[in-house]
Chain A
């Protein structure tokens, strides 16, 4: 293996035996000895996966739920053993996959710090030395002698994270850390990632958060159905991932289970209109069109019709309605079918967004019809796709004081 390679994965496959009924007793194992084959089915979680991660690289692994990305991480960590192929690790690996592993609710915060530190390979003396920093970083000074079971989940995560970032090893494996914690905590996570990136630490990050992939990862791999679907530059992979989601999730017709409301007016369809129906995505200079089809069941005056646009993480990016632009909708007669078009400027960054349409009464005290995340649309093609919105600023540069050369 070349010396600049941190991890090399070669043709790795992993199969799990999924018993139809778990035989955890000798009697059932005996009974099913002859018809063993029927006892379980093989689930191929990873199939012939090969990749190489260089030293100093911030590498992302993305994929939908159940695609096998966490299994891959566990194989890298040595928790699972591959059925086929081999994995070579060049350097010391942190054993951490998730935060707070081994935390014991019956022990005090202090005792848990030492236990968790030991799992990272630190002895008591080393932990004593960094104990105060850990507690301070977690902002838990007053709680360290309480049992962990009395901590809120946020406190536990803060404590676990403060210990985990002490890990000193050549390769860090991180699984979905960002899924937990409040805004403040997420900021700390991001600061830590920036530090890792600056220090050229080798990191492997498994995540759903495409903005994290775009911001931190040098390269990434997209795993789909146990195979590597794409591998390469992080922003390309993030886009590929969003496309994959789009193909699977784009629902032109609403899913009834996520629809609710009193039903006087009913949204029956919500879909994005693309200029080029083949391309199915909005370019930066194109306006976004969302079309609703509404059945009127009862006589309604001055309903308010609106949409909420969220990103895949569920954050509300943009909310608008007829009231916001002081548009009165007048009266709707039963039996009629309405078509409502929303058109707005494309200020969205590259990625996939969901649309939640809603119709409410004039005072917004009653909702006639809401469909949660009824459809998605895709934006792609910005030259510098970071952040959440793209507002095309004007940037002026003026020279206030002129310095001549050579002086």
Chain B
């Protein structure tokens, strides 16, 4: 364990993350402000479409914030997996010439995603205050849910980044999966619009759906219309455990595949 947090690794990680951030807003006038402005604008558009025009919120109180939190969490998942996917290939120059821990590259791109998530959550917090949302003590479960999403995204990132070295199709396939996932996950609409309980149950076995719904429940509102995996399965613990098991399985698979492939990155890129 000690070798993973050695001085060298920490120094390298901090420089890689810095470089990522500097390069991302290279040549833009507003620079870092974009990491806050981008989600704000995206949210404004979605707000107009789904809250004012389509009214997909049903009877959920504070639906705009409910919507915002869902979008922020999904964006984090999508940003992290997409950035990590190309990270190993993108850093091919380093991998071919230098002996640095390979996982470090995926890890550093995941940290940049975590930083954007942090900034976005600040916006969420501001909206919570402005809308006078009654945040209860249960919100302390939110960090655990964030960790769950991070672990899921990390497992997938490790797998994707290693597979992308061999198969460049992965980026297109992942794009399609993410598009489908975006609509299969109750981000833009309330779960109550799905009247079939079996379908609700199946949709909530997806760890992202489970985590987003739980995050909304602990942060925004405990209204009965917020359908979560706990509520829909009501005591059937075997089913409730499925999303969490999936997260662990993804992590283990990701780590194992990455470890196996990492030895040959230098020659395969």
Query: CB < 8 Å: which of B11, B166, B173 contacts A24?
Result: B166
Interface contact B8-A25, CB-CB below 8 Å: no
Interface contact A79-B266, CB-CB below 8 Å: yes
Smallest beta-carbon distance B8→chain A, Å: 4
Smallest beta-carbon distance A200→chain B, Å: 24
A114 interface residue per 8 A CB criterion: yes
Complex Cα distance, B168 from A321, in Å, reads: 60
Residues of A within 8 A of B (CB): 16, 24-27, 29, 74, 77-81, 93, 95-98, 101-102, 104, 106-107, 111, 114-115, 117-119, 121-124, 126
Complex Cα distance, B18 from A123, in Å, reads: 13
Q: Interface of chain B, helix or strand or loop or mixed?
A: helix
Interface contact B19-A119, CB-CB below 8 Å: no
Complex Cα distance, B169 from A26, in Å, reads: 6
Complex Cα distance, B167 from A224, in Å, reads: 34
Cβ-closest 8 pairs across A and B: A118-B15, A121-B8, A123-B11, A81-B263, A95-B99, A78-B99, A101-B97, A95-B98
B12 interface residue per 8 A CB criterion: yes
**Which of B95, B99, B167, B266 is the most central at the interface, judged by chain A CB atoms within 10 Å of its CB?**
B99
Smallest beta-carbon distance A284→chain B, Å: 42
Contacts of B223 in A (CB 8 A): none
Contacts of A29 in B (CB 8 A): 166-167
Complex Cα distance, B19 from A345, in Å, reads: 59
Q: Interface of chain A, helix or strand or loop or mixed?
A: loop
Chain B positions 1 through 31: 1 when the CB is less than 8 Å from some CB of chain A, otherwise 0: 0000001101110111011001100100000
Complex Cα distance, B94 from A123, in Å, reads: 18
**Which of A25, A111, A118 is the most central at the interface, judged by chain B CB atoms within 10 Å of its CB?**
A118
Complex Cα distance, B247 from A395, in Å, reads: 81
Beyond A29-B167, A95-B98, A98-B97, whether A121 also contacts B23 by CB under 8 A is: no
Complex Cα distance, B93 from A101, in Å, reads: 7
B41 interface residue per 8 A CB criterion: no
B127 interface residue per 8 A CB criterion: no
Smallest beta-carbon distance B239→chain A, Å: 33
Query: CB < 8 Å: which of A79, A93, A97, A115 contacts B15?
Result: A115
Q: Which residue in chain B gives the minimum CB-CB distance to A111?
A: B22
Beyond A98-B97, A102-B98, A104-B19, whether A121 also contacts B12 by CB under 8 A is: yes
Chain B, interface residues (CB within 8 Å), range? 20 to 34
B267 interface residue per 8 A CB criterion: yes
Contacts of B38 in A (CB 8 A): none
Contacts of B12 in A (CB 8 A): 118-119, 121
Query: CB < 8 Å: which of A24, A96, A123 contacts B98?
Result: A96
Q: Which residue in chain B gives the minimum CB-CB distance to A15?
A: B267
Complex Cα distance, B18 from A24, in Å, reads: 31
Contacts of B100 in A (CB 8 A): 95, 119
| 28 CB < 8 A contacts A-B | A16-B267, A24-B168, A25-B169, A29-B166, A29-B167, A74-B266, A78-B99, A79-B96, A79-B266, A93-B99, A95-B98, A97-B98, A98-B97, A101-B97, A102-B93, A102-B94, A102-B98, A104-B19, A106-B26, A107-B19, A114-B15, A115-B18, A117-B15, A118-B11, A121-B8, A121-B12, A123-B10, A123-B14
Contacts of A96 in B (CB 8 A): 98
Complex Cα distance, B263 from A74, in Å, reads: 12
Smallest beta-carbon distance A161→chain B, Å: 15
Interface contact A121-B93, CB-CB below 8 Å: no
Contacts of B96 in A (CB 8 A): 79
Complex Cα distance, B137 from A397, in Å, reads: 95
Contacts of A79 in B (CB 8 A): 95-99, 266
Contacts of A114 in B (CB 8 A): 15, 18
Smallest beta-carbon distance B2→chain A, Å: 15
Interface contact A121-B7, CB-CB below 8 Å: yes
Complex Cα distance, B148 from A194, in Å, reads: 55
Chain B positions 222 through 249: 1 when the CB is less than 8 Å from some CB of chain A, otherwise 0: 0000000000000000000000000000
Interface contact B97-A97, CB-CB below 8 Å: yes
Query: CB < 8 Å: which of A27, A81, A111 contacts B169?
Result: A27
B32 interface residue per 8 A CB criterion: no
Smallest beta-carbon distance B158→chain A, Å: 18
Interface contact B99-A77, CB-CB below 8 Å: yes
Beyond A26-B167, A81-B264, whether A121 also contacts B97 by CB under 8 A is: no
